[in-house]
C-alpha cells in the first residue's frame, strides 16, 4: 500500500488545497487522515467536506470532538477554546453528522491510525519525549502507527529487543523487525518553526516514509482568520509555524 497521511488541517483551506493537489500530482491514490479537521482556522465546513471526500480513512481528533461537545473546550487554552466556540456556530448539521461518524482509531493493512496516541485515544496524550513514544508501542500491533496532535513531524522506532530511538533522516526506510510511531505533522498549523504545510507519504511497497513540506498562501489564510473575527494570534502563528 502507498498512501498520503494528513493530519491537523484545522480549517485551513489554503493549506489543504495545496496538499491535496500535491498528492494528486504524485498520483498517490489513497489518503489517510488523522483528524482535527476543524479548529483555529476560518473554513471548517469546506475542510470537513474536502477531507472526507478525498480521504479513504479518517479518525477523529480532539478539536473535532470539542466541536461536537464530546471533549470539554475548557481544557484548551483560551484562544483555542474561543476558536472552537466559533466553529460550533459555523458547522452545518450535515458536517456535524459526518464528524460524529468518525472513529478514534482505524487500521489499514499494517498501519494503525490515531490522532493523539494508541493508549486511551480519548485522553489525547501528547508524545514529545522519547520516553513518551517508548511506552506506547505496546498499544498497537501493526508495524506503523501514525499520529498527529502535536503538529510536529517526526518518528521513533522500537526493535525486537525493545530498544527505542528517534529517527532523524527524511526519507527513512522501514526495516523488518522494527516498529514505528510516526507523527505526520500538520497540514494547517505547523508548530516546528517551519510554516509550510506538512504531510507524510507512506510507501509499504518500497518500505519507506517521507515528510513533505509545501508552501501555500499564508497571507490569504491569515486574512480569512482576521475577517472571521477569530483571535489575531491564530493568524500570526501561521507565519512563523509555532
Q: What is the pLDDT of residues 191-236, one digit of tens each?
A: 999 999 999 999 999 999 999 999 999 999 999 999 999 999 999 9
Domains of the chain: 2-240 (3.60.21.10)
Q: What percent of the chain has pLDDT over 90?
A: 99
What is the C-alpha to C-alpha distance for residues 19 and 15, in angstroms, rounded to an integer?
6
Beta-carbon neighbour count of residue 83 at 10 Å? 30
Q: What pLDDT does 74 receive?
A: 86
* DSSP summary character for residue 152: -
Write down the mean pLDDT value for the chain.
Answer: 97
Residues 205 and 147 sit within 8 Å (Cβ to Cβ): no
With cell 506538512, the residue in question is 198
The mean pLDDT of 78-107, rounded to a whole number, is 98
Angle at the Cα of 117 from the Cα atoms of 115 and 121, rounded to 5 degrees: 75
Residues 121 and 105 sit within 8 Å (Cβ to Cβ): yes
Position 40 confidence tier, pLDDT thresholds 50, 70, 90:
very high
- Residues whose CB falls within 8 Å of the CB of residue 227, separated by 6 or more in sequence, listed in order: 42
Amino acid at each position: 500500500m502507498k498512501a498520503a497521511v494528513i493530519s491537523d488541517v484545522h480549517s485551513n483551506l489554503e493549506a489543504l488545497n495545496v496538499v491535496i493537489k500535491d498528492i494528486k500530482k504524485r498520483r498517490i491514490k489513497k489518503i489517510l487522515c488523522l483528524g482535527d479537521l476543524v479548529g483555529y482556522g476560518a473554513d471548517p465546513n469546506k475542510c470537513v467536506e474536502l477531507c472526507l471526500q478525498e480521504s479513504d480513512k479518517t479518525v477523529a481528533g480532539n478539536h473535532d470532538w470539542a466541536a461536537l461537545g464530546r471533549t470539554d473546550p475548557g481544557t484548551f487554552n483560551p484562544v483555542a477554546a474561543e476558536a472552537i466556540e466559533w466553529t460550533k456556530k459555523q458547522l452545518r448539521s450535515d458536517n456535524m453528522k459526518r464528524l460524529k461518524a468518525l472513529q478514534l482509531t482505524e487500521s489499514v493493512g499494517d498501519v494503525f491510525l490515531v490522532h493523539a496516541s494508541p493508549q486511551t485515544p480519548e485522553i489525547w496524550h501528547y508524545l514529545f519525549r522519547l520516553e513518551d513514544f517508548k511506552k506506547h508501542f505496546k498499544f498497537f500491533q501493526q508495524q506503523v502507527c501514525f499520529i498527529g496532535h502535536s503538529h510536529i513531524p517526526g518518528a521513533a522506532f522500537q526493535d525486537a529487543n525493545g530498544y527505542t530511538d528517534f529517527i532523524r533522516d527524511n526519507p527513512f526506510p522501514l526495516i523488518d523487525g522494527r516498529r514505528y510511531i510516526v507523527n505526520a505533522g500538520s497540514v494547517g498549523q505547523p508548530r516546528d518553526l517551519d510554516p509550510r504545510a506538512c504531510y507524510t507519504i507512506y510507501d509499504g511497497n518500497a518500505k519507506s516514509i517521507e515528510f513533505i513540506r509545501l508552501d501555500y498562501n499564508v497571507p490569504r489564510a491569515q486574512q480569512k482568520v482576521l475577517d472571521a473575527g477569530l483571535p489575531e494570534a491564530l493568524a500570526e502563528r501561521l507565519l512563523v509555524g509555532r
